[in-house]
Amino acid sequence: MMQLHFSPSMRSITISTNNGFIDFMKIKVAARHISYRTIFHTFLLLAFLLPFVFILTAVVTLEGVNKCSSFDCLGRRLGPRLLGRVDGSGRLVSDFYKILNQVKTEEIPDGLKLPNSFTQLVSEMQNNQYDAKTFAIMLKAMMEKFEKDIRESKFAELMHKHFAASSIPKGIHCLSLRLTDEYSSNAHARKQLPSPELLPLLSDNSYHHFILSTDNILAASVVVNSAVQTSLRPEKIVFHVITDKKTYSGMHSWFALNPIAPAIVEVKGVHQFDWLTRENIPVLEAVENQNGIRSYYHGNHIVGANLNDTTPRIFASKLQARSPKYISLLNHLRIYLPELFPNLDKVVFLDDDVVIQRDLSPLWEIDLEGKVNGAVETCKGDDEWVMSKRFRNYFNFSHPIIAKHLNPDECAWAYGMNVFDLRAWRRTNIREIYHSWLRKNLRSNLTMWKLGTLPPALIAFRGQVHPIDPSWHMLGLGYQEQTNVEKVKNAAVIHYNGQLKPWLEIGFEHLRPFWIKYVNYSNDFIRNCHIVES
């Protein structure tokens, strides 16, 4: 704080500060009578000088030179700056940059004890009188530690998310158990699906046949409900729901007790298809039973992974590729549709994580021009997360066999909503090609690709894919948080592919309403299993 001292005789005016600069400036006034004009000019001078005094005092304080006890000291420190000859602050910064560049290439000493916070670092600097280099080393070590902790936390988060996505929520598990129990005790839950008089329609090609393969009863109910409620002709819909043996009773109970007339629903277990024998699917038997494969999909995903050489995004992609569903027979069944439904000509295959928002009957009118698979291509569009997928995104092109036979720039396409011409399919060797490449990948210890069923299908259907309009099938709702909600509203089928399924608590809140609107929360089984709208 600056103070003005007027002498009793008004012969002098002294300016002093509380920073130790006593008699910082003294203005002596002549002995003769002081006129008002003189006083006016004196205060005018003071008004001009005081701001400079304040600025100089502040600079001295901030730069830590308050130990100077004389004007001479202040002049030596600040004079060159005022004269424009030397910029001490700039030189100080330049010197510090040199120290930082020097420390950047040095190793952190072993056993260096680091402060827990920046405040503690400043405190230790003051107490221990660190030089600039020691401070820089401490700062570098702290930053490296914090970066490492953040990376480890991110990878741990991805692991937890992977386990949450791979597990069965308590409510869905409860639903399956209660419906299975109902199947054994309630005759209505065991009634034939469909009723005997409707059985001929299961192979009537004038109807629109959907095929759904899943062991998730709640998800299956949403797919069927959404398709029927958005259809302009629900009486022409036939759903063929395929599930595994353990879920069959519960799945049958659900659709027996919750009919969706006028649509028709058939529920079949894989054990009820005579064609699905070991002789016809030997490769899948190997995939399900080989210890190395099971360890890959069910083992510790951190062991053997060098987290220093990967990014969270790549690690997340690898985790998704290790989902146990990829070795499930239900996930591979689509490659056997011509044999499983020998009397059908054209079908639409749906994944269980889709929602239908528009009438799909026009799909049966699309001319596939002799091709087998009507699908949305995933290499065109401005969405780098979803619509920029080419073969390079799915295959390991450092593998010589992959590099020799495939083109990394070839356009990929989407599984999950596909129009299949089964008549054209039966004239091809798609299934044999699929099996052949599965065997090659098994022999190469899964080094050709990691991601489930799509890579071998991309190879097997080469030359047999007819692109359909992207508005029919919108992807990425299970991993792309920035999904455009307006585009979601306009898509015919929305697909929650990815880890963040809408029936999981980790699903995106703003995308879940498109799915939950087709869940019947008033159903007794759903309420008793505490499946609530969130």
Strands 12-17 and 237-243: unpaired
Report pLDDT for 22.
44
**What DSSP letter does each residue of 247-310 carry, written as one string?**
HHHHHHHHHHHS--TTSEEEEEEGGG-TT--TTT-HHHHHHHH-HHHHHHHHS-SSTT--GGGS
**What DSSP letter does each residue of 22-74 carry, written as one string?**
TT-EEEE--SSPPPHHHHHHHHHHHHHHHHHHHHHHHHHHHTT-TT--SHHHH
pLDDT digits (tens, 9 = 90+) for 380-400: 765 655 778 899 989 999 999
Q: How far apart are CA 116 and CA 104, in angstroms?
A: 21
Confidence band for 479, pLDDT divided at 50, 70 and 90: confident
Q: How far apart are CA 497 and CA 326, in angstroms?
A: 13
Confidence (pTM): 0.72
Report pLDDT for 31.
45
Least confident stretch, 160-169, 195-204, 233-242:
160-169
Residue percentage of the chain with pLDDT more than 90: 49
Report pLDDT for 324.
61
91 pLDDT above the threshold of 70: yes
Q: Which residues, in sequence order, are bridge partners of residue 474? A: 494
Report pLDDT for 136.
79
Report pLDDT for 119.
83
Report pLDDT for 62.
47
Place of tokens 């502040």: 58
Burial of residue 368, with CB atoms counted within 10 A of its CB: 0-12 exposed, 13-18 middle, 19 or more buried: middle
pLDDT digits (tens, 9 = 90+) for 250-305: 999 999 999 999 999 999 999 999 888 766 776 555 555 555 555 555 555 554 45
Report the mean per-residue pLDDT for the chain. Answer: 81
Report pLDDT for 290.
52
Are the C-beta atoms of residues 329 and 175 closer than 8 Å to each other? no
pLDDT digits (tens, 9 = 90+) for 342-361: 999 999 999 999 999 999 99
**What DSSP letter does each residue of 95-136 carry, written as one string?**
HHHHHHHHHHTSPPPTTPPPPSSHHHHHHHHHHHT--HHHHH
Q: Residue-wise over 488-519: b if at least 16 C-beta within 10 A, else e? A: beebbbbbbbbbbbbbbeebbeebbebbbebb
Q: Token pair for residue 115?
A: 């402060």
Report pLDDT for 23.
47
Q: If you average pLDDT over residues 168-184, what whole number do you get?
A: 95
435 pLDDT above the threshold of 50: yes
Question: Is residue 143 helix, strand or coil?
Answer: helix
Q: If you average pLDDT over residues 215-237, what whole number do you get?
A: 97
